[in-house]
Amino acid sequence: MKSKVYFTKEITPESLIKIYEKLGVNLTGNVGIKVSTGERGSKGYLKADLIKPLVDKLNGTIIECNTTYPETVRDSYEEHMKVAKEHGFTDFAEVDIMDKDGEFKIPVPEKSKHLKYDLIGENFKNYDSILNLAHGKGHFAGGFGANLKNQAIGIASRRGKAYIHSCGQTEDPVECWNVKFEQVDFIESMAEAATAVSNFLKENNKPILYITVANAISLDCDCDCRQGDPVINDIGIFGSLDPVANDQAFLDAIWATNEAGTEDIKERIDTRHGRHITEYAESLGLGSTEYELINID
């Protein structure tokens, strides 16, 4: 059975709420909203004026974990919160850097080939429901970033990020950049971590919804302090109960464009084996690459 993916070309606060409502699940209790707060110097992170009305509607808390990549300033709670404030997030919501007070391990799928566990921020267990609110764009390491990356790398603690980036070889945030691994193994490690988070939520009867805003689509991620300008025009907003289908719809939409920068972002994605993440995540049981696109415009 094909998963349903809702889509609108309109990228406004109102259309973001409309996509959420179309998904048919009310997120209640202590709602965590996983959004990238963006590296200092980045341009494309989801802006306050777009997401604030939905965050207000859910009375949500923006959830993040500390980063581990070179040149980051968000590798500590204090510095991460400074950037969140600079980017306007603390003006309208509570921001929880979930690994501030530690981390905990959750199981990965039995079929996993690289990770033995996933290591996520301690405070993730405090939330009753989750909105995975991703910005769709390119990515230097993963080829592209949307819901699957936002769930894998984004919810992992700083040491958990190192573990995923090293394909299960080390939790050390420095050593992880020195170990050898195949690029496709990193893509699969992200899928394993994303599936682990989904399974953890299911086992604890906590719902999660997936929305990707495909705007300001640059070759590099919001985690890049030298993030460039968009290479193709804005596409729209995708929403689903299935993160694999939602990422696949975003990828298919990129492949359907015919703009000056289309070949650049396709090359970025394919040279990193980025499209493999959806098929591998599907093999782990996270979701389906087959979907029905429902235009709500």
pLDDT at 170 over 90: yes
Q: Where are the beta strands (DSSP E) in the chain?
A: 3-8, 31-34, 61-64, 95-97, 103-106, 118-121, 129-135, 137-139, 143-145, 208-214, 236-240, 291-295
Rounded to whole angstroms, how far apart are CA atoms 99 and 190?
Answer: 18
Residue among 274, 257, 154 nearest 214 (CA): 257
Distance, in Å, from the CA atom of 5 to the CA atom of 189, rounded to the nearest integer, reads 25
Residues 181-212: pLDDT tens digits?
999 999 999 999 999 999 999 999 999 999 99
> What is d(CA 84, CA 64) in angstroms, rounded to the nearest whole number?
10
CATH of residue 219's domain is 3.40.50
Q: Identify the band that residue 260 occupies on the pLDDT scale cut at 50, 70 and 90.
A: very high
pLDDT in tens, 95-109: 999 999 999 999 999
- Phi, psi (rounded to 5 degrees) for 129: -155, 155
Q: Indicate the average pLDDT of the chain.
A: 97
Q: What pTM was computed for the model? A: 0.98
Number of structural domains the chain divides into: 1
Give the model's confidence band at 169: pLDDT under 50 very low, under 70 low, under 90 confident, else very high. Answer: very high
Task: Report the pLDDT averaged over residues 247-259.
Answer: 98
Instruction: Quote the distance between the C-alpha of residue 215 and its chain's center.
Output: 14
18 three-state secondary structure: helix
- List the domain range (segments joined by +) for residue 214: 3-295
Pair of tokens at residue 150? 């936002």
- pLDDT score recorded for residue 69: 82
- Given this model, what pLDDT does residue 1 score? 81
pLDDT in tens, 225-244: 888 999 999 999 999 999 99
Containing 7, the helix (H) or strand (E) segment is strand 3-8
Distance, CA of 134 to CA of 24 (rounded, Å): 19
Q: What is the pLDDT of residue 3?
A: 98
Task: Name residues whose C-beta falls within 8 Å of residue 42's C-beta, 6 or more positions apart in sequence.
Answer: 221, 222, 223, 224, 225, 227
Closest CA to 210 of 135, 285, 275: 135
C-beta of residue 124 within 8 angstroms of C-beta of residue 155:
yes
Three-class secondary structure of residue 274 per DSSP = coil
According to the model, what pLDDT value does residue 273 have?
Answer: 98
**Token pair in block for residue 139:** 């990515």
User: Which residues are 40's β-sheet partners?
Assistant: none
Strand partners, 294: 6
Least-confidence region, from 12-26, 128-142, 191-205, 223-237? 223-237
According to the model, what pLDDT value does residue 73 have? 86
Nearest-angstrom CA–CA distance, 151 and 243:
9
